[in-house]
Each structure stands twice: as C-alpha cells, then as structure tokens.
Amino acid sequence: MSVLAGFTDARAEVNGQTIAYSRAGDGPPVLLLHGFPQTRAMWHAIAPALAERFTVIAADLRGYGESSKPGSVQDYSFRNMAADQRALMVSLGFESFHLVGHDRGARTAHRLALDWEKAVHSLTLMDIVPTHFLLENLSREVASAYYHWFFLAQPSPFPETMIAQDTDWYFESCLTSWGAAELDDFDPEALYAYRQSWRWPDTIAGMCNDYRAAIQHDFAHDAADLGRRVPCPALVLYGADGVMAREYDVPASWAERLADMRARAMPGGHFFPELHGDETAEILVDFLSEQ
C-alpha cells in the first residue's frame, strides 16, 4: 500500500543515492518535497488533488523516510539534497518541472532553483524565510522557538543520544510546536509513516546532519548567492499563526531573492499543509494552472 492514496511507490538510484518517491497523475510534472521531521506522507491531502491535473512526484529527501542516509555532514547540504531531486526528475524524463517544498523541502527547493534555474518552471515555498536571512538576523525569540536548529546541529552523538531516549516524544513535540497544532490534528496514517521513519537511528543521525549542514555549509553557499533572484514565478505561503509570521515579515524576506513573487498567509501554524490540506491544494492548483 502506498504512503499516498492512489499513488505508486518506487525508488530511483540517482546521484549516488536511493531516493524513494510516489507517483500519480498525468500532465505537467510537479515535485513535492517534505520537511522535518516528516516524510513524503505529509502530502496525503494535497498530492491526490494535484494529481487530477498534474503528474505528481512526492519524494523523500536523503536522510528521511525510505531514502538513503549517507554518513557525513557535507552530504546533507541543501546543494547535495537538491542535486538528488533534480536527478530524480531527469531520470523520470522531466527536464523541467513545478517545484513545491515545505520547511527543509522548501530550503532544498530554493537551492535547486538557484543551482538549476532552467529546471524549475515555478517555485512554491512553504513557511520559511531564507536560510541565510534567518541565521544572519537571528533574534532571541526565534532562537528560543526554533531551538532545534542549534540542538540538532551539536556534534554527534550528543543530540542523537538524547533523542534516542524517547524518540516518539521528541519528534511529536516538534510536530506540536511552531504554532497551532495538536497531535490529534495529524492524519493517523501519516503519523504512522513518520514514526516508522524517525525510529531508525540512521534517520535520527541524518536529520541531525541536515541541521549541522545548514550552519557548516548552507550559510556559506547562500552567502555566495546574495543578490541573485530566482527568475521563475514563485509563491510564498506561510502559516498566519506560526513562528515565522510572528517574528518576520515573510514576504519581505523573499523580496530580493524571487523576481516574480506572490505571497499569502494561510490559516494555522507551520504545519498548515497537513492541517489545512484542502485549502492549500486549492491554492496550489490555481497557481500552478496559471503558469
């Protein structure tokens, strides 16, 4: 049974990694990239609606879900994670595609659009401000609310050891943080998929390395690209009750990085794509259909 209803699950050997994905639909291609601490199952309410008009590929990032989990911090730079996903789409016959990401998937998507701008027909970023912007303009309020950036980035095996004491409790506390979510708000089958993934020690290590790489590698990569704008049409969605909306002017943080941007606040907090999936899907269908 697929992690996404009506989708076919598969794995691709690309860019030296195994990338797990689910596919359904027909029409222009759309790649969906999940965030932390989730898997591609987070698109359970959105992917089927998109598949009525588009060829939808929902993939697990390296280090997450059923994708491979390499061992070094550098392996988890958004540049390397983006290279996986671009290679996946090329292997499926799609040289260009619509790109939609939430959280870590959105950061990967932004990097993909910078490194392979001709591959990205449109870009949708969900509930993030730019990585460099967040780290360069860190406030005590964001550092407190987003403490996990700096906890997970501590040297191995410190965070891995602490998380392993009660893995479900730790990651479920992440799901109920960052604004307007209770555990009962999440789809039970999606929660099952998340738990099956994050209980693996190599997944815990991979997610920690993801956050280590943001500080050790991604900040410098993004600093080198300050002043560049992604040229394709872009949609920025953010949770009205989330930390990002409370602490930042989210659209303004992207204004110098996206040449053709529109932005919209969504009901709920960070996890609005799951908690308000139908509304999110409707907005996505409208945006993608216009491009």
Question: Any idea which residues carry the catalytic annotation?
Answer: 103, 270
Question: Using CA atoms, how far apart are residues 119 and 129, in angstroms rounded to an integer?
Answer: 22
Give helix 188-198 / helix 167-175 axis angle, nearest 10°.
130
Tokens of 151: 């906890």
Closest CA to 12 of 105, 72, 87: 87
Closest CA to 132 of 234, 226, 270: 226
For residue 198, the tally of other CB atoms under 10 A from its CB is 25
**Residue 227: half-sphere exposure toward Cβ, Cα within 13 Å:** 2
Question: Using CA atoms, how far apart are residues 20 and 10, in angstroms rounded to an integer?
Answer: 6
The amino acid at residue 271 is F
Question: Using CA atoms, how far apart are residues 145 and 220, in angstroms rounded to an integer?
Answer: 24
Question: Using CA atoms, how far apart are residues 277 and 220, in angstroms rounded to an integer?
Answer: 34
For strands 29-33 and 55-59, give the pairing: parallel
Element (H, E) at 263: strand 258-266
